[in-house]
Amino acid sequence: MDSDPDPNLNPPVVDPAVTSTADDIAAMRIRGAATIADAAAAALATQAERSEAPDPAAFERDLRAGARELYETRPTAVSLPNALRYVLRGMEGETVTALRASTIERANRFRTELEQAQSTLGEIGANRLRDGDVVLTHCHSTDALACIEAALESGKRIEAIVKETRPRKQGHITARQLRELGVPVTLIVDNAARRYLDEADHVLVGADSIAADGSVINKIGTSGLAVNARERGVPVMVAAQTIKLHPDTMTGHTVAIEMRDEQEVLSLQERAEIESPSEESESRSTAVDGNDDEDSSRSESDLTVENPAFDVTPPRYIDAIVTERGQFPPESIVTLMRELFGETTAEPWEE
């Protein structure tokens, strides 16, 4: 007589809405830290709402499988696993009905807090800005802009020095949005930052992610700017929502630095011009050593282009990290991480 199949052997069921969201994140049709986090939380809520799991164990297994599918699309995007952690750690109950309700409530709470986070952060950051201050910015950060916008709304006059931020010139976006707010802007080339620090009252930047020791991972050039600002006595303020905190770093994980396409720095035509000597210089080289075999054997690999997207600013160069939960000295940010995410020894989608 055959025994009933073990329900634990049944494969987990992932709702199509989760798979669709995962595909959109992987293809970058959904992009931006807050947008990715919001979409992930919404997908888990949909999975919980539609779940036909026969028992609590199956419900939890299915939801973790959905979270794992979402996580694997962009494992280095800090806001994505943070959203998943928040929702899964609020999954409570002894029945499917209770688990469903707690998961949906947790996801909705996350999305509401996320929607309000930037405006709250902006109000907190604006308190550090005085009437008539000049801020120097790097790259483009909506969190940093929220601080300036809140300061303007409180009646303060703010001016900005904006680094253009090569190679993609995100500073142009910052300059345009600041002008739309009526802020006087001086746009400068990146290498002029040290010169213009004497005219700045604050350096104001965002963050791609923040490590447990208070180090800030942000657009390449942030670290050098912070070092120069410390030399000049200009305070450095980092504006970042808590979805940018990187709890994995509490257990010794390092943050991977993305290397971007070299053609953002050097086009194929420019590479060819560098690697192909002119006829005059080539004939000169041949006349000197009488041997062009070595030149002909040189390959394109002799010219290497490095284009890191981010760098790491040590906490000693940062005066404050401003979040929607308040402002913190960088060394104490780990306390906030523990409060929000607990001691991360195992990811909830792997339990």
Q: 208 an active-site residue? A: yes
User: Cα(265)–Cα(261) distance, rounded to whole angstroms?
Assistant: 8
Could you write out the DSSP letters of every residue in 156-208?
Answer: ---EEEEE--TTTTHHHHHHHHHHHTT--EEEE-GGGHHHHGGG-SEEEE--S
**Most distant pair of Cα atoms in the chain: their distance:** 92
Q: Which region holds residue 133: left if phi is over 0, alpha if psi is between -120 and 50, else beta?
A: beta
| CA-CA-CA-CA torsion sign (49, 324, 34, 157) | positive
* In the predicted structure, residue 79 carries a pLDDT above the cut 60: yes
Average pLDDT over residues 144-158: 98
pLDDT at 77: 75
User: Cα(166)–Cα(193) distance, rounded to whole angstroms?
Assistant: 13
Distance of CA 283 to the CA centre of its chain: 50
Average pLDDT over residues 13-18: 96
pTM score of the predicted model: 0.80
**Per the annotation, does 163 bind a ligand?**
no
What residues have CB less than 8 Å from 205, skipping those under 6 apart? 137, 138, 139, 141, 144, 216, 218, 219, 222, 225, 236, 237, 238, 239
* Chain region(s) in the chain for CATH 3.40.50.10470: 127-252+308-346
323 strand-pairing partners: 326
Each residue of 34-77: pLDDT tens digit? 889 999 999 999 999 999 999 999 999 999 999 999 999 987 67
The percentage of the chain sitting over the pLDDT mark of 70, rounded to a whole number, equals 88
Tokens 């709702």 belong to 15
Of the listed ranges 29-38, 78-87, 206-215, 221-230, the least confidently predicted one is: 29-38
Among 147, 159, 169, 146, residue whose Cα is nearest residue 221: 169
Q: Which fold has domain 16-119?
A: Four Helix Bundle (Hemerythrin (Met), subunit A) (1.20.120)
User: Which residue out of 15, 38, 133, 139 is catalytically annotated?
Assistant: 139
User: Which residue out of 15, 62, 143, 208 is catalytically annotated?
Assistant: 208
- Helix (H) / strand (E) containing 216: strand 216-219
User: Cα(165)–Cα(225) distance, rounded to whole angstroms?
Assistant: 11
Q: 198 an active-site residue? A: no
The percentage of the chain sitting over the pLDDT mark of 90, rounded to a whole number, equals 74
**Per the annotation, does 291 bind a ligand?**
no
CATH class, domain 127-252+308-346, is alpha beta
Q: What pLDDT band is residue 33 in, cutting at 50, 70 and 90?
A: confident
**Per the annotation, does 32 bind a ligand?**
yes
| CA-CA-CA-CA torsion sign (255, 260, 266, 268) | positive
* Chain region(s) in the chain for CATH 1.20.120.420: 16-119
pLDDT at 298: 42
User: Within 13 Å and on the Cβ side, how many CA atoms surround 196?
Assistant: 22
